[in-house]
Structure 1
Amino acid sequence: MTGIVVLFDFDRTIIDGDSDKWVVVEMGLTQSFQQLRSILPWNTLMDRMLHELHSQGRTIEEIEKCLKRVPMNPRIAAAIKAAHDFGCDLKVVSDANNFYIETILKHHGLLGFFSEIYTNPTSVDEVGRLRIFPYRDFTLAPHGCSLCSYNMCKGLVIEQIRAAASENGKKRFIYVGDGKGDFCPSLKLGHGDYVMPRKNYPLWNLICGDPMHIKAQVLEWSDGEELEKVLLHLIDTISIEENISNGTSTQSKSSQSQVSENAGTHP
């Protein structure tokens, strides 16, 4: 196991689209979604969409089949497998939900590569309806972060992960994301860490607009192919640095694969 922890957002990062919106569109909920979008918080709205499906007689198995059709760039899957094989600790930090994420990752053979998934929990109630709950009960214990959604502060999650990881020695963090909610955790990264924002997405725009507050090195990516190149090159770079500091010169595993030298640039 290396000293590298790779944290992935899910929607528009591991998958190219949005899993919530995929279910809404593919299962015919667009009209209900549009009617309620302006009056319900997102997490509550998604739970309401599942209520609509249940009231229509749609089953959890049908939702699973729908989620299994979510496309994933094969280079993203390859990057995840390569990072895991190299010994990185991979985790998901997402404002989607546990059922959607696990169903999609399992379908693509990737679930076992992640040690932890931090997201909104799900359960099946007594009538067989799939429910989505907030990651944090904002009515009892609001997180107080103005940068994040009401139900989940990813910055607090990163602090918890870092505190737990530090018990096993110094760790280097790589955060891969795209959205507005990924800005707060990016601010929690320190010198020696890396943030990989998806170019021309909200996180990238926020970093470009406020670069002085980002301590981590910034390496952008645009698509699955570029994410793979940037991430594996980065793992290579960190590994070489660790080998030098440890007085070894062993060539890293990922350098033996197809990693481009021009891995990424600052946005």
Structure 2
Amino acid sequence: MAGIVVVFDFDKTIIDVDSDNWVVDGLGATEEFERLLPTMPWNTVMDTMMGVLHARGKTLDDVAGVLRAAPIDPHVVAAIKACYALGCDLRILSDANRFFIETILDHHGLRGYFSEINTNPSRVDGADGRLRIAPYHDFHAGPHGCGLGICPPNMCKGQVLDRIRASAGADKRFIYLGDGRGDYCPSLRLSQDDFMMPRKGFPVWELICENPALLKAEVHPWSDGEEMEETLLRLVGRVLVEESKLLPLDCKLESMPGVAVQDGLPMPLRIKN
């Protein structure tokens, strides 16, 4: 297996929408969601909304049906499969929830490509079939302790990434893909041998641009599924070549399934201060 761990955010990274909003809007509960949102943390709102939808007669199958219609770019699917074929260890780190993520991955035949899904736990109440969504970190028992100030109370992705790194081994190189504010904390914890792939024009990109010198990792932005696929596979190809040190770059890349050779490798991002 290659010494590469690829960590994907889920909402607006693997899929092109926010799965929470997608379900709420798709089942006609947007107004209630917007009323509740200022009154409690997002994670708690989603658990509450599952109760609201259940009280309105919406079943778990109704929720799953909406999730299966969530848009996913074919280039993203191709990138996941190609990285897996090249021996990468693929993981998900998301502030969505396990039922939403697994339902969508199963629908697209992608669940088996990921060795781990780190997200808010969910369960179905046996008595009435109502979906319950819990926080990844039980903030009612105490804060998670991240001092950055922008991580939501239910999940510090930076702390989760530290745990992933410890479990993967010190020799692994990481590629992290994300879009939201919560993806900024883990980006600061990547090393100089790692790569950060923020989605251009989204909150994590804006935070990185405020002070790019804070990141040790190379930054390689992307805007859509096609650019994500191209950039991710070229970075994977680069790491594999650096690991092998046996063949010239173009020869090595041409021998790898799913990795296209274009005008050389993407250069690290240089952001004007």
- Structure 2 residue identity aligned to 1:7: V
Question: Partner of 1:221 in structure 2?
Answer: 222
Identity of aligned residues (%): 52
CA contact (8 A) 2:82 2:258 kept: no
1:17 alignment partner, SS class: coil
CA contact (8 A) 2:79 2:232 kept: yes
CA contact (8 A) 2:234 2:259 kept: no
1:202 to 2:203 alignment: yes
Question: Partner of 1:92 in structure 2?
Answer: 92
1:164 to 2:183 alignment: no
1:35 to 2:35 alignment: yes
Question: Partner of 1:153 in structure 2?
Answer: 156
Question: Partner of 1:72 in structure 2?
Answer: 72
Distance 2:76 2:130 in 1: 32
Q: Paired residues, what number?
A: 262
What's the CA shift string for 1:189-217, capped at 9, x where partnerless? Answer: 00100000001111111111011110000
Mark the CA change 1:64 to 1:162 in structure 2 (over 3 Å): closer, same or farther.
same
Question: Partner of 1:258 in structure 2?
Answer: 260
Runs of 4+ in 1 over 6 A off after TM superposition: none
Deviation at 1:256, TM superposition (A): 6.0
1:127 to 2:141 alignment: no
Distance 2:173 2:76 in 1: 21
- Structure 2 residue identity aligned to 1:150: P
Deviation at 1:259, TM superposition (A): 4.5
- Mark the runs of 5 or more structure 2 residues left unpaired by the alignment: none
Question: Partner of 1:140 in structure 2?
Answer: 141
- Mark the runs of 5 or more structure 1 residues left unpaired by the alignment: none
- Structure 1 residue identity aligned to 2:260: Q
The root-mean-square deviation of aligned C-alpha atoms, in Å, is 1.5
Q: Which moved more, 1:218-227 or 1:143-152?
A: 143-152
- The alignment's TM-score, normalised by the length of structure 1, stands at 0.94
Q: Which moved more, 1:112-121 or 1:250-259?
A: 250-259
